[in-house]
Amino acid sequence: MSRRMTEKLRKRLAAETGTHSAPWGGRLTVALVYPNTYHQGMSNLGFQTVYHWLNSREDTLCERFFLPDPDDLAECQRSGTPLVSLESQRLLEDFDLIAFSISFENDYLNLPVLFELGRLPLWRKERDEHYPLVLCGGVCAFLNPEPLADIMDLFAVGEAEVILPELVKRLQGEVSTDRVKLLHSLACMPGIYVPALFRVSYREDGRVQTMEADAGIPGRVKRQWLADIDQGQSRTCVTTPETEFASMELLELSRGCPRGCRFCAAGFIYLPFREHSHSHLRQQLDESRTDRKKIGLVAAAVSDYRGLAELGESILAEGGEVSVSSVRVDTIDADQVDVLARSGHKTLALAPEAGSQRMRDVINKGVEEAQILNAVRIVAEGGIPNLKLYFMIGLPGETSEDVDAIGALTLKIRTIWEEIGRRRGQLGRLTLSVNPFVPKPFTPLQWAPMEARSSLERKYRQLQRQIRPLPNVDLNQESLKLAEVQAFFARGDRRIGHILPALAEGNSLRKACRDAGLDPAFYVTRERLEDECFPWEVIDQGLLRSYLWKEYCQALDAKCGQACYPGCKRCGIC
């Protein structure tokens, strides 16, 4: 490794607080790999949680690996510099277990270079017991592991706090055992998926026909989740100036969401909705070793957290500040906004998701236009200068009028925003973040097609014509190319993993698929059949398929559903 890169790693480590280091020897050693840069990885709370959990024990040791920064990557590939851990510059092969933490499908494209620099064969069939076991954890592991099924030896299906204790116990002293025997024993563990022990057959038309498990192991892998999340601890453990959240400490408030928005995977695969208790969060803040004043509160629906304003007040009372990513339009109130404004919040995000009521009912957003406009008033009156609005286009049944409705709603919001801003003497900016709808597994919209790129491009142009002339309003839109790749891997089967090297070399999705004899439209823009066998259903989320299908039909009829309520048994989780 060049002196420059060695020095960079040394400085990076020195700039951290909370880093763990422990002597090697007598411990199960885990290489925790984030499939993107240090900046991205250290901003990921799940990654931090696993790192902290493994290093809080006497019998395990965990060190981190990241994709080299863009300016180093080319040098590493040219010079053959291997991937090394941040803590001790060891190689991946030195560890007993290699654990990837993957939250985003588009990070799959970094796997070929990570394995190349890690000096590991990419395909699991090319790795024998001389190589460490390769595990995949993180959201992607239990949303749809199949696209990575020929790369990873095993997947952690669910929440780390539940799966890791038993996994560590089984691996201690076993890592050198006969690999086939070891994988079979692990596949019998709750929450562990071993793709090598499942055979997949396909129909003539390419759809999955069957997924069969070997004898003696469960036919589906049950998602594992922490019943009492106060038993877990999800907060920033290692701080560094090199992350998205350099100025703050992240603190998890809850997991899952009771709202049932039909496009939202995080809302369904973390059910049931669970909140941390105030006392637990207080204890977390008291134990925090970081010098960070600002606390970033993390949850699928932050403003749904009961007593958010009280928690915020207690942080302010200690001279701290509060930050949140977005708030719900129907639960935000003046007290919450006051806490955020006194915390120096310059921008607050609201997520109407759709411009027309019909589209909001399709996705079961559960909010009316009046509530959206009221939330805008509360935020503007509360003194937050800038507003961010999240919208989606390409939803099932969306018409040109529904796209126009985004512009119309934005105009109403801007009128309120401008009137209050002028009165307060601070006219801030409105930013629209408009993303294409990407259908996700284990949501009611898992059957829906993603809209074709040409049609989405037309709708973006339609929106630009409406929004661009508006002063103080910006329009951000996600790359359609990246959204297509995300959609391709979100609902793919294990055949598609084989185009990753071609994509990683810069080939387009179309070319990579063509060369591999695959049709991207089959995965991206095809509506699924009601009784189709889905590759991701090797995972048992605990959700009733019939419930998801019923919700899909409701969506197509633009009918609202219901949020979670005590005593409800609808989706099968409770």
- In the complex with ligand SF4, the residue whose CB is nearer, 225 or 536, is 225
**SS3 call for 91:** coil
Closest distance of CB 269 from ligand SF4, Å: 12
Residue placing its CB nearer to ligand SF4 in the complex, 471 or 566: 566
Q: Choose between 76 and 266: whose C-beta lies nearer to ligand SF4.
A: 266
CB of 300 to ligand SF4, least distance (A): 13
Taking the complex as a whole, how short is the minimal distance between the CB of residue 537 and ligand SF4, in angstroms?
18
Q: How far is the CB of 227 from ligand SF4 (least distance, A)?
A: 13
Sheet holding 386-393, edge to edge: 347-353, 386-393, 430-436, 473-477
C-beta of 130: minimal distance to ligand SF4 in Å?
A: 45
**Interatomic CA distance for residues 420 and 410, integer angstroms:** 15
Q: Which of 508, 457, 512 is nearest to 480 (CA)?
A: 457
Q: How far is the CB of 491 from ligand SF4 (least distance, A)?
A: 22
Euclidean distance between CA atoms 3 and 6, whole angstroms: 5
**Residue 144 in tokens:** 């749809």
User: What's the rounded Cα separation, in Å, for the pair 533 and 420?
Assistant: 53
Provide the residue type at 508 as one letter.
S
State the amino acid at position 314 in one-letter form.
S
Cα diameter, the chain: 73
Q: In the complex with ligand SF4, which residue's Cβ is closer, 355 or 444? A: 444
Interstrand relation of 248-252 and 254-255 (parallel, antiparallel or unpaired): unpaired
**How near is the Cβ of 260 to ligand SF4 at its closest, in Å?**
6
In angstroms, what is the minimal distance from the CB of 97 to ligand SF4?
A: 33
DSSP assignment of 8-39 equals HHHHHHHT-BS------SSSEEEEEEESS-HH
- The token duo for 254 is 């809850």
| SS3 category, 418 | helix
Q: How far is the CB of 573 from ligand SF4 (least distance, A)?
A: 4
Q: In angstroms, what is the minimal distance from the CB of 190 to ligand SF4?
A: 20
Report the residue number, 67 or 571, with the smaller CB distance to ligand SF4. 571
- Cβ of residue 545: shortest distance to ligand SF4, in angstroms? 13
Q: Any residues with CB less than 8 A from the CB of 11 and at least 6 apart, and which?
A: none
Nearer to ligand SF4, 136 or 571 (CB): 571
CA dihedral 297, 300, 302, 303 (to 10 degrees): 170
Q: Which is nearer to ligand SF4, 391 or 552 (CB)?
A: 552
Burial pattern 237-257, b for ≥16 Cβ within 10 A else e, equals: bbbbebbebeebbbbbbbbbb
Q: Residue type for 401, please? A: E
d(CA 115, CA 504): 12
Between 482 and 544, CB nearer to ligand SF4: 544
| Nearer to ligand SF4 (CB atom), residue 226 or residue 452 | 226
Strands (E) located in 454-534: 473-477
Alpha-carbon distance 173 to 28, whole Å?
8
Q: Is the peptide bond before 165 cis (omega within 30 degrees of 0)?
A: no
CB of 492 to ligand SF4, least distance (A): 27
Which residue, 272 or 320, is less far from ligand SF4 as judged by CB? 272
* Interacting residues toward ligand SF4 by CB under 6 A: 271-272, 564, 568-571, 573-574
- SS3 state at 528: coil
- Report in angstroms how near the CB of residue 410 gets to ligand SF4 at its nearest: 32
Q: Which tokens belong to 304?
A: 């749904």
Least Å from the CB of residue 224 to ligand SF4: 16
Cα 144 to Cα 497, 522, 533, 571: the distances in Å are 12, 17, 13, 19
Q: Choose between 171 and 271: whose C-beta lies nearer to ligand SF4.
A: 271
* String of DSSP letters for 119-166: T--SSGGG--TTSPEEEEESHHHHH--GGGTTT-SEEE-B-HHHHHHH
Nearer to ligand SF4, 239 or 254 (CB): 254
Cβ 533 vs Cβ 210: under 8 Å: yes
| In the block, residue with structure tokens 């939803």 | 395
Q: How are strands ordered across the β-sheet holding 154-156?
A: 60-66, 28-34, 97-101, 133-137, 154-156, 192-193
Cβ closest to ligand SF4, residue 180 vs residue 568: 568
Looking at the Cβ atoms of 198 and 273, the one nearer to ligand SF4 is 273
- What are 214's two structure tokens? 């070997």
